[in-house]
Amino acid sequence: MSRIIATAAIRGAYKCMDRAETMLSEAINRHGRDKAIEFPGTAYALPVILTLTGKRVEKLGQLEEVLWSARGWLPVMPTEQLWLPYLGGALDAGAATLVAHEAVEAMKPLCGISLTSDFWLGPTPDSILREQGIKLVDGRMPGFAACVGALPNDEVAEQLARDLQERNILVFMGSNTAGDTMAAQLNRRRVDMNWETFLVPYGPDTSSIVHALGFACRAAFTFGGLKPGGLKESREILLYNKRRVFAFVLALGEVDDEKYATAAGAINFGFPVIADTDIPEILPSGICEYEHVVANVAHRDMPSRAVEVRGVKIKTVDIPIPVRHGPAFEGERVRKEDLAIEFGGKYTRCFEYLTSRPMDQLQDGLIRVVGPEIKDVPEATRLPLAIYVEMAGRKMQPEFESILERHIHSYLSEPMGVMHLGQRDTVWLRISKKARDAGFRIEHLGTVLLHKLKNDFPAIVDKVQVTLFTDPGEVDKLYPAAVAAYRHRDQRMGALTDEGVDILYSCALCQSYAPNHVCIITPERPGLCGAYNWLDGKAAYEINPHGGNLPVKKIEVTDPVLGQWKGVNDFIRNASNGAFSRFSAYSMINDPMTSCGCFECIACVLPGTGGIMVVDREYQGQTPVGMPFSSLAEMTGGGQQTPGFIGIGTLYILSRKFISADGGLARLVWTTTRVKHRLGDALRARCEEIGKPELYYKIADESVCTELEPLIEHLAAVEHPALEMGEMI
Ligand code: SF4
Ligand code: ZN
């Protein structure tokens, strides 16, 4: 490592350590050693400290020991004459700095400093990590950038943020340059900052950057199934990050000692530093085969340079529209006062309908607007809209129509300044004044659909033709055909059973994070992330026979009750790298399927009730098993097979095969109001179908109780059928 950087990093590390220690002794004086400290919503305590020291810090007193050992990693403070021949010293100083930073961040609330003031989001709860994790695994979000400091002006800040968003890179922001911050700059430009827009402001101090590294550590725990422990474990977690988490640091503005020290910490994770100033570069050596520090990069070139250095794989599609586009713009709202035109919502009829047609009846690339265009109506007009997509493909099958149509939502959310909510005939679509002023027209909605469909589904989409009806009469004329198609598809999907097919589909998308995990998706059991059902698997295989979804022949039934097939067991032995040899599709007790980390819900046995509970990942409270979701997830995830615990997609609860080997839906004794809400009438209908219409009202939720004893009393009072069914294990 360059001598200047090493010296500055070590000097910075001493400063950070001094500050953390001072803060700690004040905090202990005021609150005592037993005072609890934590980041909200995580099962990994202070995750960077847990990674680097193996210690789970939950009380102030425990920080003393941790800081003391981290101080021991600091090399001797170099004098100008001292020559540092290798990276080691500075890297150790960097690791110690991260420990100090995380201690400081954790102690802030005790000193009356909120981690979430103004637009700052503070540390990330596990629930968000899991939700975003699926984007990391399926490539929608190829990596993250930790932006440290501020840009020369607000406009350049927005430019950089947009350039990163356009590449779908998650942007963490922290620290400041001479008191200004990138997040404040974006805020002044009225840029939406939240998890949906991939722009996440952590905090104004350099210490807040540690939350980005905490995110990385927890990715290794939640998706990689790695465990904290000693030196060996800590090294494995760092290597996991180097290999699988494509992240980098953008150093913006003057780099002071503290920032050098923090950068050295990030280099431990294999995250290179790209700077806009003239700092000494560090070329490839030792642990990395790429540069550690690249200096003097113009802001305009930063994203592409970073992507190149870190080897991030970016999938972007060129679409000839006058605004930026990409998944990072999906979450952006168009506010009422920014509105150029609006369709649907509760005001007008707005629906989308995709259908397949014979090849020779379509003119590929034809996009038409039938009715007024954006320029023909006054600002903020409300019009009806029918988005009619006709497509043809040699390998197209009618059952893929619903899958392609479901993608319209994300496609039309991607252009900057277009907001799309809902699906089918519940669509609400807005186009902003900014987009209109940049030249965006209704016609461009068709351009987006044309390009995205052809790009994402090349094997099944050969021709696409889009008609955008804004003429009320035409919209009403097409509507009955759309409604008939929706109904027909639902009936067809509902009629699909596990017995009715010979082929199931595997999904190994999550293996990039959980190397032994594989989902087996059947018509009656969707993937645990909730994002892939059997038809998705089938279509994905048609599109790419060498991708993450493969057909799995059942061959013969090994156990019809458990849902075991010879073909499946043979397949998973191989696909799990020999880690597992049997999977049951219908049991959470005997050979349950493994769970990676991105499950929508966890189902878990509740001893003493004869039943199970289902908790969704957004639920933050306590559950009757005595653990919040985050702790449950720690037991369930990481690609393990844990009898009594499975990760599931929410809709699996409605399936006739929902833990059917263990007693089925009648076992459900507790769930969250969110799950009840989402399933609503469909859950009521399932209760009726199994001959227990009153079951719906007997299933408790957090508004009834969150502890086991009161739950058992409740179950007895309402005579829940699970009590009669006997213990599950
Ligand atoms: Fe991951 Fe399973 Fe979802 Fe595939 S179906 S993305 S393996 S959780
Ligand atoms: Zn997963």
Same domain? For 555 and 470 the reply is no
| pLDDT tens string 649-663 | 999 999 999 999 999
Rounded to the nearest angstrom, the gap between the alpha carbon of residue 197 and the centroid of all alpha carbons in its chain is 12
Q: Is 319 inside a domain boundary?
A: no
pLDDT at 229 over 50: yes
Res. 81 pLDDT band, cuts 50 70 90:
very low
Q: What was the pLDDT predicted at 131?
A: 81
CA 525 – ligand 1 centroid, Å: 12
Q: Give the domain CATH number at 691.
A: 3.40.1470.10
Q: Is 600 inside a domain boundary?
A: yes
Of 468, 495, 522, the position where a domain reaches its end is 495
pLDDT at 82 over 70: no
pLDDT at 156 over 50: yes
Q: Is 279 inside a domain boundary?
A: yes
- Count of the separate structural domains present in the chain: 3
Q: What was the pLDDT predicted at 84?
A: 44
CA 633 – ligand 2 centroid, Å: 12
Same domain? For 248 and 350 the reply is no
| pLDDT tens string 16-46 | 999 999 999 999 999 999 999 999 989 899 9
Same domain? For 139 and 208 the reply is yes
Q: What was the pLDDT predicted at 438?
A: 96
pLDDT at 83 over 50: no
Nearest by Cα to 98 from 222, 269, 254, 246: 269
Residue 128 CB neighbour total at 10 angstroms: 18
Q: Is 122 inside a domain boundary?
A: yes
Same domain? For 490 and 509 the reply is no
pLDDT at 139 over 80: no
Res. 283 pLDDT band, cuts 50 70 90:
low
pTM over the 0.95 mark: no
Q: Which atom of ligand 1 is nearest to the CA of 548?
A: 4
CA 528 – ligand 1 centroid, Å: 6
Q: Give the domain CATH number at 106.
A: 3.40.50.2030
Of 281, 310, 339, the position where a domain reaches its end is 310
Same domain? For 449 and 532 the reply is no
The mean per-residue pLDDT over the stretch 593-611 comes to: 93
Rounded to the nearest angstrom, the gap between the alpha carbon of residue 54 and the centroid of all alpha carbons in its chain is 26
Residue 250 phi, psi (nearest 5): -105, 110
How far apart (Å, rounded) are the C-alpha atoms in residues 354 and 189?
Answer: 37
Same domain? For 628 and 697 the reply is yes
The average confidence (pLDDT) of the chain is 91
Q: Please check whether residue 428 is in contact with residue 420, taking contact to mean a CB–CB distance below 8 angstroms.
A: yes
Q: Give the domain CATH number at 401.
A: 3.30.1650.10
CA 587 – ligand 2 centroid, Å: 19
Res. 350 pLDDT band, cuts 50 70 90:
very high
Tell me the best of 134, 528, 538 to mutate to test the pocket of ligand 1, counting ligand atoms within 8 Å of each CB and taking the most.
528
Residue 414, token pair as written in the block: 């991607």
Instruction: Name residues contacting ligand 1 (CB within 6 A).
Output: 507, 509-510, 519, 527-529, 531-532, 596, 598
Q: What was the pLDDT predicted at 691?
A: 96
The mean per-residue pLDDT over the stretch 191-210 comes to: 94
Q: Is 663 inside a domain boundary?
A: yes
**Domain housing 170:** 4-310
Q: What was the pLDDT predicted at 150?
A: 97
Q: Is 346 inside a domain boundary?
A: yes
| pLDDT tens string 233-248 | 889 999 888 888 889 9
Same domain? For 687 and 569 the reply is yes
Same domain? For 147 and 278 the reply is yes
Q: What was the pLDDT predicted at 313?
A: 73
Distance spanning both ends of the chain, measured CA to CA: 57
Same domain? For 68 and 122 the reply is yes
Same domain? For 487 and 610 the reply is no
Of 310, 335, 350, the position where a domain reaches its end is 310
The 3-state DSSP class for residue 58 equals: coil
Nearest alpha carbon, ligand 1 atom 3? 529
Q: Is 321 inside a domain boundary?
A: no
Same domain? For 475 and 534 the reply is no
Same domain? For 291 and 348 the reply is no
Q: Is 671 inside a domain boundary?
A: yes
